Copies of this chain bind each other. A is one copy, B any other.
Amino acid sequence: MVAQLEYVKRVEPLMKDMAKTHGSTFTFDHLPLQQGGSLSPVTIAYETWGTLNDTGDNVILITHALTGDSHAHDPAHPGNCKMAWWNPLIGPGRVFDTDRYFVICSNVIGSCYGSTGPTSPDPRTGRPYGMRFPVITIRDMVRAQHRLIEHLGVRHLAMVAGGSIGGQQALEWGVLYPDLMDKVVVIAATAALTAQAIAFNEVGRQAIMADPNWYCGDYWPGSGPSTGLAIARMLAMITYQSEEVMEQRFARKPVQQAMAPSPANTPELGGRFDVENYLYHQGNRLVERFDANSYLYLSRAMDLYDVSEGYPSLEFALRRLQSKLLLIGIRSDFLFPAAHVRWLAEKVRSLGGDATYIELDSPHGHDAFLKDWDQLTIALQQF
């Protein structure tokens, strides 16, 4: 019991801090959706850093991952990589240089950090959409971002850059609006998810929807399927890392830190390994800051993404690319295997496109795009 109290005391302030919404919002009337139907109205939460020039073309658009938000940079804490998810890459003199560029990051539709998503009121009922929210895709996210940059007076993008689902968005930008940007940076993302990655996502979703507190998505805000969401996050955290780095960090050590409650609040069977405690902790943290229905919709958008969708072939889709493309794979990533990222670069080149492939020699798995700042900086500087 002491361990439990201590845990709550240490974690809660952090949770509240992370759940803050930042920046501005832009609302527009209507967004037709790739899978049919539409969303209206649509609100996009966003942040910007730096100044837009008179010609409206000194712009870098940053796109975020599954549970991310618009807070890619925190000028008040530029040295703290925990205060904003791409903080070390953004700022004066950094690779995304806010002295030269107008840097934009918006929260994707379907999310719960200020943009329209399942927690938003459904205008037909005035109550949260829940599972009446329509199926959205990476292309829908990109189309909504396009409306935002038009609203901000942007005429041309110097670069679109993102990792993971953010990388899928960056690639989609290049294919959907080929003449609108000079450069595209796709990190730890591919043309489409593997069967294995879809499978992992679906296990997580089943865990959420099996939680009796999910109520088919109609839980009250602030409550909901916290056990299921924590289990989904535990699994996702394994796929974001690698066997190698988990062995370095945890191996078979017994629990080392304050005991976190397990999602199902269950008895232990022969002790607790440190890796289990870590995953409980990560599960609990996500529950405090993220909406379960948003998790379902955004992870599904990740599965459904296929850059060739709606075109006669993959080649046809990739031939649309006009910008310079930088594809960054991560040696130890098993969610978006480096070999698939490299394959995409070679495919684009074989079709006459300008694609560069760089591989991060990192043990951190998929999460390297949020950790290996030095390697990322070098890769981006060279581009």
Name the residue on B nearest A136 (C-beta). B270
8 Å CB interface, A56-110 against B: none
Q: A227-B210, A243-B334, A337-B243 are in contact. Are A269 and B199 (CB under 8 A)?
A: no
Q: Mark A202-246, 1 if CB is under 8 A from B, else 0.
A: 110111011110001000000000011011001100100111001
Counted per complex, copies of this chain come to 2
Could you tell me if B195 and A275 are in contact, using CB atoms closer than 8 angstroms?
yes
A187 → B minimal CB distance (Å)? 19
Whether A196 is near chain B, meaning CB under 8 Å from some CB there, is yes
* Residue with the greatest number of chain B CB neighbours at <10 A, chosen from A212, A228, A247, A275: A275
Could you tell me if A192 and B247 are in contact, using CB atoms closer than 8 angstroms?
no
Whether A304 is near chain B, meaning CB under 8 Å from some CB there, is yes
8 Å CB interface, A278-296 against B: 279, 296
Give the contacting residue for A252; candidates B238, B252, B262, B306; CB below 8 A: B306
Name the residue on B nearest A262 (C-beta). B206
Whether A194 is near chain B, meaning CB under 8 Å from some CB there, is yes
Chain B residues lying within 8 Å of A180, measured Cβ to Cβ, are none
Could you tell me if A269 and B135 are in contact, using CB atoms closer than 8 angstroms?
yes
* Residue with the greatest number of chain B CB neighbours at <10 A, chosen from A242, A243, A246: A243
Could you tell me if B264 and A209 are in contact, using CB atoms closer than 8 angstroms?
yes
Whether A312 is near chain B, meaning CB under 8 Å from some CB there, is no
Chain B residues lying within 8 Å of A358, measured Cβ to Cβ, are none
Chain B residues lying within 8 Å of A334, measured Cβ to Cβ, are 243, 334
Chain B residues lying within 8 Å of A170, measured Cβ to Cβ, are none
Q: A209-B266, A264-B210 are in contact. Are A195 and B247 (CB under 8 A)?
A: yes
Could you tell me if B270 and A199 are in contact, using CB atoms closer than 8 angstroms?
no
Q: Mark A123-155, 1 if CB is under 8 A from B, else 0.
A: 000000001000101000000000000000000
8 Å CB interface, A308-330 against B: none
Whether A200 is near chain B, meaning CB under 8 Å from some CB there, is yes
Could you tell me if A279 and B238 are in contact, using CB atoms closer than 8 angstroms?
no
Whether A367 is near chain B, meaning CB under 8 Å from some CB there, is no
Listed from nearest, the 10 A-B pairs whose CB atoms lie closest are A210-B264, A195-B250, A209-B264, A195-B246, A209-B266, A135-B270, A195-B275, A269-B300, A196-B243, A203-B235
Apart from A199-B279, A210-B228, list 12 A-B contacts with CB within 8 A. A131-B267, A195-B247, A199-B234, A199-B238, A202-B273, A203-B231, A203-B279, A209-B264, A210-B211, A269-B296, A271-B304, A273-B303
